[in-house]
């Protein structure tokens, strides 16, 4: 198995593909600006030096596909407010724990102060906690794109079937397809000639959903895997489209992704969630139809309804450029706080916290350069 995975990093193949890309770009006459949607891709690019390898040929723009980074500050503050309520056990995924809220307080800070905040490896653990502590109010603060939303849907269905009365879910699930559309029609965006499409999201959604966007904006999307050769092949497919004057959705990540996606998961999402009219994203503002709320059938588990909380008014750190980094308008190193006031040990914005954040990738792999 190791041999198989190592072959995705094989230096000789890397060189062959990089040479092919360079040759195609030379014939185009200009470097190509490609946005990788997914924060996981950003980390692979930086870790393996693919941006350096293709310098002068490909400009990688880092996109909004890190779910923790794009979770609006007011939603982080909401999680903090919830965790402070009496008898609440607030559960969420680990990456959100260290994201600072408006007052620099994070869920981790609250935990250190004795509040009941728990990072979960799987959201289904919330059921066990609710059963173990029947006198507590267990809240699962759900974040993520279409990738993690089906897990939350399973949690909601199971809790409903089991009749668990002390468990609620606050849904912050967001939709990749809507943010792609929003970004492309936004006036404030970098020059994006093509997207490397998200690998994990597309496993659920399939790639057919991207076709209207590709046609509307004339911007190709190639869905890629997460190994260096996957990304190089995706870049090669993009430059080949450019050279041949095509504009299509293509799948490089064929070992996982297809056109239709996971139909079972899609059915589950339709049953458990409804699309919100609008939802706040960090750096991008309110995006119409861009997130899931819990469907009326399961509203007894809807934490937003049960706790009846209104969103706090939140304030971003004035010097944090996360909002612009998320849109690909700035590199993390453009931020005055990068590596000084803002480090993984003392993060100011979510892009320095999340394992998919662009600032963390630059800190880990470029800080010494
Ligand atoms: Fe925000 Fe820190 Fe990144 Fe600057 S370095 S944009 S403060 S997360």
DSSP letters spanning 197-249? E-HHHHHHH-SGGGHHHHHHHT--EEE--SSHHHHHHHHHHHHHHHHHT---E
CA distance 294 to 68: 20
CA distance 354 to 99: 8
Give the model confidence (pLDDT) of 123-182 as tens digits: 999 999 999 999 999 999 999 999 999 999 999 999 999 999 999 999 999 999 999 999
CA distance 71 to 118: 19
The best mutation among 338, 353, 357, 363 to test binding of ligand 1, ranked by most ligand atoms within 8 Å of the C-beta, falls on 338
Q: What is the pLDDT of residue 367?
A: 75
**294 close to 306: Cβ distance less than 8 angstroms:** no
Q: What is the pLDDT of residue 3?
A: 61
CA distance 63 to 111: 31
Around ligand 1, the residues with Cβ closer than 6 Å are 320-322, 325, 332, 335, 337-338, 342, 348-349, 351-352, 359
Q: Which of 227, 272, 217 is nearest to 249 (CA)?
A: 217
- Domain 2-65+177-251 falls in which CATH fold? Rossmann fold (3.40.50)
Give the model confidence (pLDDT) of 297-312 as tens digits: 999 999 999 998 887 7
Closest ligand 1 atom to Cα of 335: 4
Which residue minimizes the CA distance to atom 8 of ligand 1? 349
Give the model confidence (pLDDT) of 209-237 as tens digits: 999 999 999 999 999 999 999 999 999 99
Q: What is the pLDDT of residue 275?
A: 98
Q: How confident is the model at residue 4 (pLDDT cuts 50, 70, 90)?
A: low
Closest ligand 1 atom to Cα of 336: 4
Q: What is the pLDDT of residue 369?
A: 47
Start-end of CATH 3.40.50.11750 domains in the chain: 2-65+177-251
Q: What is the pLDDT of residue 366?
A: 87
Please check the confidence at residue 361 and state whether its pLDDT lies above 70.
yes
Q: pTM value? A: 0.93
Q: Give me the residues paired with residue 173 across strands.
A: 144
Q: What is the mean pLDDT of residues 109-135?
A: 97
Start-end of CATH 3.40.50.11740 domains in the chain: 69-174+291-307
Give percent above pLDDT 70 in the chain.
Answer: 98
Q: How far is the CA of 336 from the centre of ligand 1 (A)?
A: 8
Q: How confident is the model at residue 368 (pLDDT cuts 50, 70, 90)?
A: low
Closest ligand 1 atom to Cα of 359: 3
CA 186, 187, 190: angle at the middle one, nearest 5?
85
CA distance 102 to 312: 10
Give the model confidence (pLDDT) of 50-99 as tens digits: 999 999 999 999 999 999 999 999 999 999 999 999 999 999 999 999 99
CATH superfamily of 69-174+291-307: HypD, alpha/beta domain 2 (3.40.50.11740)
Give the model confidence (pLDDT) of 6-22 as tens digits: 777 788 899 999 999 99
Question: Is ipTM beyond 0.95?
Answer: yes
The best mutation among 106, 328, 331, 352 to test binding of ligand 1, ranked by most ligand atoms within 8 Å of the C-beta, falls on 352
Q: What is the 3-state secondary structure (H, E, C) of 31-55?
A: CEEEEEEEHHHHHHHHHCCHHHHCC
Token digits of residue 23: 């040759």
CA distance 219 to 242: 10
């Amino acid at each position: 198995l190791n041999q198989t995975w190592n072959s995705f990093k094989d230096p000789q193949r890397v060189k062959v593909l990089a040479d092919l890309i360079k040759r195609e770009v030379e014939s185009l006459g200009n470097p190509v600006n490609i946005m990788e949607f997914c924060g996981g891709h950003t980390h692979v690019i930086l870790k393996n030096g693919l941006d350096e390898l293709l310098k002068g040929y490909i400009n990688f723009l880092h996109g909004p596909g890190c779910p923790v980074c794009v979770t609006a500050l007011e939603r982080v503050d909401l999680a903090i407010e919830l965790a402070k309520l009496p008898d609440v056990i607030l559960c969420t995924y680990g990456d959100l724990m260290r994201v600072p809220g408006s007052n620099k307080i994070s869920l981790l800070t609250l935990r250190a102060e004795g509040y009941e905040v728990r990072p979960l490896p799987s959201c289904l653990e919330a059921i066990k906690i609710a059963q173990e502590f029947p006198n507590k109010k267990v809240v699962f603060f759900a974040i993520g794109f279409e990738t993690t939303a089906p897990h939350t849907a399973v949690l909601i269905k199971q809790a409903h079937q089991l009749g668990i009365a002390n468990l609620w879910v606050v849904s912050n699930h967001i939709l990749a397809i809507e943010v792609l559309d929003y970004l492309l029609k936004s006036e404030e965006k970098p020059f994006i000639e093509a997207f490397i499409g998200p690998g994990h999201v597309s496993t659920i959604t399939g790639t057919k959903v991207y076709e209207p966007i590709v046609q509307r904006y004339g911007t190709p999307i190639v869905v890629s895997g997460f190994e260096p050769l996957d990304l190089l092949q995706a870049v090669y497919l993009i430059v080949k489209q450019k050279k041949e004057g095509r504009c299509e959705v293509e799948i490089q990540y064929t070992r996982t992704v297809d056109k239709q996606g996971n139909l079972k998961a899609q059915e589950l999402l339709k049953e458990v969630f409804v699309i919100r009219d609008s939802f706040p994203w960090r750096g991008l503002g309110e995006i119409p139809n861009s997130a899931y709320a819990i469907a009326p059938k399961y509203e007894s588990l809807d934490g937003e309804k049960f706790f009846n909380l209104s969103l706090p008014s939140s304030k971003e750190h004035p010097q944090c450029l996360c909002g612009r980094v998320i849109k690909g308008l700035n590199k993390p190193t453009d931020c005055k706080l990068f590596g000084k006031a803002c480090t993984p040990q003392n993060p100011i914005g979510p892009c320095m916290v999340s394992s998919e954040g662009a600032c963390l990738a630059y800190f880990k792999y470029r800080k010494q350069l």
